[in-house]
Amino acid sequence: MKIPVTFTLNGTEAAAFTDPGQNLLDLLRRNLGDLTPKFGCGQGTCGTCTVLIDGEPHLSCLILAEAAQGREIETTAGLANGPDLHPLQTAFMEGFAAQCGYCTPGMLMVAKALLDRNPSPTRDEVIEAISGNLCRCTGYEPIVEAILTAARAPRHATGRTA
Amino acid sequence: MPVEFRKDLFADERDDNLAEIGKPHIRQDILGHVTGRSPYYDDHLFDGLLHLRCVRAPYHHARVRSVDASAAERVPGVVRIIRPSDVPQNLNTLLALLNFGRDDEPLLTPEKTGYRGEPILAVVATSEAAARDAVAQVKVDWEELPHVLDVEEALKPGAPIVNTTYPNNTFDYHDRYDHQKLRFGDTEAAFAQADHIVEGEYQMSPIEQAPIETCGAIASPETNDRFVCYTSTQALFFSVAVSAKQTALPSSRLHFIGGTVGGGFGGKVDSHHEPLAILGAMLTGHPVKYQWDRAEEMQVGAPRSGERWRIKDGVMRDGRIIAREFTGFFDAGAYTRLTSYGVQKCTGHLPGPYTIPNVASNTYCVYTNRTPSTAMRGFGITGVDFSIECQMDRVAEAVGMDPIELRILNAYRDGDMKAHRRTAKNCALIESCQVVAQKSGWALSPDAMAQSSRVGGGAGWRAEIPETVIDHAGQIGERRRNWIDTEPFAGATQRDRIAAGTANEHPATGNAPQRDDMVIEAERLGFKVSDGPPAGAPSYGTRATAPTPPAAPSFTPPQTPTPPVGAPVPYPNAGPSLPPAARGAPAASPPVSAAPPTPPSPTTPSPQPAPTVSTTPPSAPAGSQDQAPRAPRRPGVSRFISGPRGRR
C-alpha cells in the first residue's frame, strides 16, 4: 500500500509515495534523492539525520514519512543560495569544523535552527544546541567556534562562493 | 626556554618555522562536507537495490547442529539465502595478503561459531524490513559450547578451543612460537642487584571505533562483466584483494570505489562487507547493499583489542631503572584479524622511550570467545604505553622521586642502544617533559631542566648491546600440554635458559629467513652465533627442507647454562671505567672480525645446506660471499631503513 505525501523541501514542493513504516530519512534519500541527511544509528542517538521541520530540528530517522505531510522541511542541500554558501558553511569551512564530514549535515541543521531563533547565542547555548549530535572525530571545539563565528558574521552576508 | 624541535631528519624537506600549527586550514574535501555532497558509499542510488542481513550466533561459543531456512525463504520479498557453501573461498584472514598467518575466519560460518554475533547465513531481500523478518524466521538448532572470555583462562590446559585453526588459543608466530619474545641483557641478574623491585598489573578494555557512518558496501553488476562496489573501507586494496579471493573472481572484474569514509579509526580495515555484497550481486544479478546497523557496529564491529600487562622493574636508589620485564596478553577475540600484527608492533616498542640495559618480554596474541579485535588508532602501542607510564609513576613513588624527573633520568638520549637493537635518534622525550613541566607550572630541579636528549647518550654501556640471556620456553603447544608460566624465563632453570655468551645453537632459532636482509646479524643479537651454515650460507631457502631437522622440544643446551652471577650488570656508572665489549666499538672494525667465529658444536646437529639448489657458484666460501655485499655493519645501522641511503 502506497501513501501519497506532499510537503515543501527546501522551498520547493515535493511529492512522493511512501510505504507504511518508512521513515522520513529514507524517503528523503531514496525517494527524493536528497542525500544530505545521513544514516548513523537509526535510533535517534547520533543526530546526523537531523532536518528542520517548520524551523525546528528533528531526527528524520525517527519520524514517519507520512508525518511530513504539509510541513516545511529543510536540509543541508538547501543551505547554500545557488553558488553562495551560507555563513555557517563558510565558518565550518574556514574553521576546520569537519574531518570525516559525516556528522556535518546534522551539525549544520541544528546550528541553523539555533541562529534563526537566536542570532547571537552564548557559547553555552551553542553547546546545548549541538548536544544531540555526535562527532566521533572529536571536533566539537572547532564546531562550537565555527557556529559562534557564523553568528558574529554580518546579517545576510553571503559567505564564500562555492 | 625555547622549544626545540628535532628536525634533523627532515631538515631539507620543509620549513622549520611550523607556522601552520594551531591555525585552521581549508581541507581540500571540505566543500563537499559542508554542502552535504561528499559521496559516501551509501550516497549512491540503485534501482532495484536489495538488502542483505545476516543470521548471527546468539552465544559466545556454539555449534550449528542444523539450519532450517524454509520459513525464511517464504517471507515476501526474500530473493536469496546465502549459505556458507555458496562462498567460493569461505576461509580467509586479512594478513594472508602479506603471507602472515593462516586463513582462520569464514565469511559465513558453517559449523562452529566463536563469538556472539558471528554470521552463519545471509538473507537478501527487496527491503531491509523483509530481510530482518526473514532473518528472524531462520531456525537454527544451536548447541551451546563452554566459552572462555579471559586471556589467561584461555591459555590454561583444558580451556575451550576457540579457533580450530589455532588450537592452542594463541597465534603461532613463524609456526613455531606461541608468543613474541624480546630479550636484551640479563634481567634476572639485574633484579638481584636492584635496590627496589616494582611490580604492577594494568589492563585496558576493548574499545569500539564507533564511526558515525556504520560499515557497509553496495555491489552491483556492471554491463561490462564487472561488479562495481562502493564501500566504506579504509583500505581499498585490502578490500579488493580479499573480495577477489573470497568470491574467486579475478580482481580485474572488480571495480572498487571508495575513499570517502564517514569515520574509520581502524574499524574499516577488515573487509567483510565487500565480499558478501559482491556475492549477493553475483547470485541475484541485482545491486545488493550490506550495511551494518548501529547494534551490529557496536557488537560485531571489531574493536581495539583488550590488553593485560604485568611489568616488573628493577630500580636503583637514585631512580635508574636497570631491568624491566613485561608479560603481555592481547585479546584477539575469536579470530586473528590484525591482532597478531599488533603484538609484533608492540614488542618493537618495548620498553617504552627509556634506556634500560636489561629488558625481557613475552607477549601473547590470545584467542577468546569475544568479538575479534583489529586495528584502532595506534593499536599495539597505546595499551602498553598507558601501562608503562602508570608503572613509571609507581617507580617514582617507590624511590621517592619526582615523576617527571624520573622520566628525564631514564629517557632515551641520542645514540643510546634500544632493546630491539637500533640506535635511538632524534630523541625528544626530555625536551617534551621539560615543556610539559613548564606549561603546567610543575617545578623541576635545575639539573633536570639542564638535561638534553643530545647530551649523555651513546657512550659506554648506553651504546652497547649487552650479552643476552635467552630461553626457548613457549613453543607451540607446550603451554597447553603442560602448564608453564607466561612470564619471561618462567621455569627457565629447567627449561633451557641459555646463558649469555653461549653459542646460540638451538634448532628453533634456525628459521630460514625469507630475504637476505633478514639474515642474522651476529653483532646485533647480543649473544654469539656459531659460524656454521646458519650465519652465512646463501642457501637459506633450502634449510627449511633439510633432511634431518632435530625435534625441537628435546633440546638441551650445549653448555651448562650458568647465569653469570658475578658478572657486572651494565649499570650506569656510565664513565669510561666500563670497558666496552670487544664487538661493541661502533666505528672501526669490520663485522667479520667483530664476531669471532665459533666452530659448530659437535653435539648439535647443524643442518647441512643442500648442495644442489644454490644458484651461486659453489666454489665461493660461504661466509665471505655473504658478507661482502652486506658490509659495512655497525650495531644499529641498517642499510635498508636509516642512514644516508634512505634519505638522499
Cis peptide bond N-terminal to B351, omega within 30: yes
Partner-chain contact B211 A105, CB within 8 Å = no
d(C-alpha B429, C-alpha B319), whole Å: 17
Identity of residue B637: V
Provide the domain limits for residue B137. Answer: 43-145+213-299
Confidence of residue B263 (pLDDT cuts 50, 70, 90): very high
Same domain, B349 and B222: no
Confidence of residue A74 (pLDDT cuts 50, 70, 90): very high
Task: List CB contacts (< 8 A) between B38 and chain A.
Answer: 101
Report the mean per-residue pLDDT for chain A: 94
Task: List CB contacts (< 8 A) between A77 and chain B.
Answer: 35-36
Chain B contact probe: residue of A93, A130, A133 with most B CBs at under 10 A: A93
CATH number, position B285: 3.90.1170.50
Same domain, B119 and B233: yes
d(C-alpha A117, C-alpha B451), whole Å: 57
Number of domains forming the structure of chain B = 2
pLDDT at residue B99, as a whole number: 86
pLDDT at residue B590, as a whole number: 37
Residue B15 lies in a domain: no
| Cβ neighbours around B504 below 10 Å, total | 22
> What ipTM goes with this model?
0.96
Confidence of residue B315 (pLDDT cuts 50, 70, 90): very high
Give the one of B129, B212, B261 whose C-beta lies nearest to A40's C-beta: B212
d(C-alpha B392, C-alpha B404), whole Å: 9
Of B428, B358, B630, residue with least CA distance to B513: B630
Give the one of B29, B34, B294 whose C-beta lies nearest to A92's C-beta: B34
Decide if pLDDT at B168 tops 90: yes
B299 min Cα distance to partner chain A (Å): 13
Q: Where do the CATH 1.10.150.120 domains begin and end in chain A?
A: 87-152
Place of cell 535552527: A113
Give the one of B36, B211, B262 whose C-beta lies nearest to A77's C-beta: B36
Partner-chain contact A79 B261, CB within 8 Å = no
Residues 354 through 413 of chain B touching chain A, CB cutoff 8 Å: none
Residue B76 lies in a domain: yes
CATH number, position B321: 3.30.365.10
Residues 6+ apart with CB under 8 A from B497: B469, B470, B471, B489, B561, B563
Interface A:B, Cβ pairs < 8 A: 106
Same domain, B282 and B321: no
Residue B106 lies in a domain: yes
Write the DSSP symbol of residue B428. Answer: -
Residue B517 lies in a domain: no
Q: What are the Cα distances from residue B104, in Å, to B85, B162, B238, B271?
A: 16, 11, 17, 14
Same domain, B84 and B186: no
Confidence of residue B18 (pLDDT cuts 50, 70, 90): low
Give the one of A40, A96, A103 whose C-beta lies nearest to B24's C-beta: A96
Partner-chain contact A101 B38, CB within 8 Å = yes
| Cβ neighbours around B413 below 10 Å, total | 20
Query: DSSP string of B80-113?
Result: EEE-GGG-TT-EE-GGGGGT-S---EESS-SSEE
Task: List CB contacts (< 8 A) between B296 and chain A.
Answer: none
Give the one of B37, B38, B210 whose C-beta lies nearest to A136's C-beta: B210
**Greater model confidence, B303 or B494:** B303
**Greater model confidence, B33 or B495:** B33
Question: Helix B403-410 crosses helix B382-399 at what angle (to 10 degrees)?
Answer: 110
Same domain, B58 and B199: no
Cβ contact B20:B192 at 8 Å = no
Write the DSSP symbol of residue B9. Answer: G
Report the mean per-residue pLDDT for chain B: 82
Confidence of residue B242 (pLDDT cuts 50, 70, 90): very high
Which range is least confidently modeled, A59-68, B95-104, B468-477? Answer: B468-477
Nearest CA in chain B to A33: B45
Task: List CB contacts (< 8 A) between A80 and chain B.
Answer: 35
pLDDT at residue B579, as a whole number: 34
Torsion, CA B565, CA B566, CA B572, CA B578, rounded to 10 = -130
Partner-chain contact A40 B29, CB within 8 Å = no
* B43 interface with A at CB cutoff 8 Å: yes
Cβ contact B249:B241 at 8 Å = no
Three-state secondary structure string covering chain A: CCEEEEEEECCEEEEEEECCCCEHHHHHHHHCCCCCCCCCCCCCCCCCCEEEECCEEEEHHHCEHHHHCCCEEECHHHCCECCECCHHHHHHHHCCCCCCCCCHHHHHHHHHHHHHHCCCCCHHHHHHHCCCCCCCCCCHHHHHHHHHHHHHCCCCCCCCEC
Decide if pLDDT at B547 tops 50: no
Partner-chain contact B38 A76, CB within 8 Å = no
Partner-chain contact A96 B293, CB within 8 Å = no
Last residue of a domain, one of B273, B299, B325: B299
Partner-chain contact A36 B36, CB within 8 Å = yes
* B259 interface with A at CB cutoff 8 Å: no
pLDDT at residue B24, as a whole number: 73
Partner-chain contact B27 A96, CB within 8 Å = yes
Cβ contact B462:B355 at 8 Å = yes
Strand partners, B429: none
d(C-alpha B279, C-alpha B587), whole Å: 60
Same domain, B110 and B217: yes
Residue B372 lies in a domain: yes
pLDDT at residue B253, as a whole number: 97
pLDDT at residue A1, as a whole number: 86
Q: What is the mean pLDDT of residues B238-265?
A: 96
B223 min Cα distance to partner chain A (Å): 23
Q: What is the mean pLDDT of residues B416-440?
A: 92
| Element (DSSP H or E) covering residue B304 | none
Sort B369 into a burial class: Cβ within 10 Å, 0-12 / 13-18 / 19+. Answer: buried
**Greater model confidence, B640 or B265:** B265
Partner-chain contact A104 B265, CB within 8 Å = no
A119 min Cα distance to partner chain B (Å): 20
Query: B95-104, B162-171, B421-430, B525-534: which has the highest mean pLDDT?
Result: B162-171
Task: List CB contacts (< 8 A) between B34 and chain A.
Answer: 85, 89, 92-93, 98, 101, 104, 108
Candidate CATH numbers 3.40.605.10, 2.40.110.10, 2.120.10.30, 3.10.20.30; the one for domain A3-78: 3.10.20.30
d(C-alpha B242, C-alpha B89), whole Å: 10
Same domain, B141 and B196: no
Last residue of a domain, one of B299, B328, B361: B299
Partner-chain contact A94 B38, CB within 8 Å = no
Confidence of residue B98 (pLDDT cuts 50, 70, 90): confident
Same domain, B255 and B320: no
Decide if pLDDT at B558 tops 70: no
Chain A contact probe: residue of B23, B25, B35, B44 with most A CBs at under 10 A: B35
- Predicted confidence (pLDDT) per residue in B567-626, tens digit: 444 444 433 333 333 333 333 333 333 334 444 444 444 444 444 443 444 443 443 344
Confidence of residue B634 (pLDDT cuts 50, 70, 90): very low
**Greater model confidence, A121 or B635:** A121
Which range is least confidently modeled, A99-108, A142-151, B520-529? Answer: B520-529
Give the one of B34, B211, B260 whose C-beta lies nearest to A136's C-beta: B211
Same domain, B177 and B137: no
B9 min Cα distance to partner chain A (Å): 29
Give the one of B30, B291, B293 whose C-beta lies nearest to A98's C-beta: B30
| Element (DSSP H or E) covering residue B626 | helix B622-627
Candidate CATH numbers 2.130.10.10, 3.40.50.300, 3.30.565.10, 1.10.150.120; the one for domain A87-152: 1.10.150.120
Of B516, B510, B427, B420, residue with least CA distance to B465: B420
Chain B contact probe: residue of A2, A62, A96, A102 with most B CBs at under 10 A: A102
Same domain, B136 and B260: yes
Which residues of A lie closer than 8 Å to B, measured between beta carbons? 21, 29-30, 33, 35-43, 45-46, 48, 75-77, 79-80, 85, 89, 92-96, 98-105, 108, 134-137, 142, 162
Nearest CA in chain B to A20: B129
- Predicted confidence (pLDDT) per residue in B359-410, tens digit: 999 999 999 999 999 999 999 999 999 999 999 999 999 999 999 999 999 9
* β pairing state of B227-231 and B254-257: parallel
d(C-alpha B35, C-alpha A77), whole Å: 6
Same domain, B293 and B324: no
Same domain, B365 and B384: yes
Give the one of B31, B213, B291 whose C-beta lies nearest to A38's C-beta: B213
Partner-chain contact A142 B24, CB within 8 Å = yes
Of B413, B437, B436, B398, residue with least CA distance to B354: B413
Residues 6+ apart with CB under 8 A from A118: A125
Provide the percentage of residues in chain B whose pLDDT is more than 90.
66
A124 min Cα distance to partner chain B (Å): 23
- Predicted confidence (pLDDT) per residue in A3-23, tens digit: 999 999 999 999 999 999 999
Decide if pLDDT at A158 tops 60: no
